[in-house]
Structure 1
Amino acid sequence: MTSHSNRTTSGTEAPAVALITALQSLSRAQREAAARIAHELDWPRAGVAVVHLLAKCGPASLSDIAARQRVDLSVASRQVSTLADAGYVVRTVDDEDRRVRTVELTESGWALAAEASEQYSKLIDQAFAAWSPEDLAEATRTLDRLVDTISANTTHRRSPQNQQECA
Structure 2
Amino acid sequence: MMTSHPRRTPSDPETPAVALVSALQSLSRAQREAAAHIAQELDWPRSGVAVLHVLTTCGPASLTDIAAHLRVDLSVASRQVSTLADAGYVVRTVDVEDRRVRTVELTAAGRALAAEASAAYTNLIDRAFTAWSPEDLDTAIGTLNRLVDTISADITHQRSPQNQQEFA
TM range (shorter): 0.7 to 0.9
- Report the equivalent of 2:10: 8
8 Å contact 1:7–1:17 — kept in the other structure? no
Cα distance in structure 2, aligned partners of 1:147 and 1:140? 11
Task: Map 1:56-135 onto structure 2 (within 5 A).
Answer: 56-135=57-136
Which structure 2 residue ranges, 5 or more long, are not aligned? Answer: 159-168
RMSD: 2.0
Task: Map 1:14-29 onto structure 2 (within 5 A).
Answer: 14-29=15-30
For residues 139-160 of structure 1, give each alpha carbon's deviation from its aligned partner in whole angstroms, at most 9, with x where no partner exists: 0000000111111222499xxx
- Report the equivalent of 2:163: none
Larger radius of gyration: 2
Cα distance in structure 2, aligned partners of 1:32 and 1:103? 27
For residues 82-137 of structure 1, give each alpha carbon's deviation from its aligned partner in whole angstroms, at most 9, with x where no partner exists: 00000000000011111100100001000100100110011000000001111111
Cα distance in structure 2, aligned partners of 1:7 and 1:111? 51
Q: Percent identity, aligned pairs only?
A: 74
Number of aligned residues: 154
1:76–1:156 distance in 2 versus 1, CA, 3 Å: farther
What SS does structure 2 have at the residue aligned with 1:153? helix
Cα distance in structure 1, aligned partners of 2:138 and 2:157? 25
What SS does structure 1 have at the residue aligned with 2:99? coil
Following TM superposition, by how much is the alpha carbon of 1:7 offset from its aligned partner in structure 2, in angstroms?
A: 3.7
- Report the equivalent of 1:165: none
TM superposition score normalised by structure 2: 0.86
What SS does structure 2 have at the residue aligned with 1:130? coil
Which structure 1 residue ranges, 5 or more long, are not aligned? Answer: 158-167
What SS does structure 1 have at the residue aligned with 2:38? helix
Cα distance in structure 2, aligned partners of 1:41 and 1:72? 25
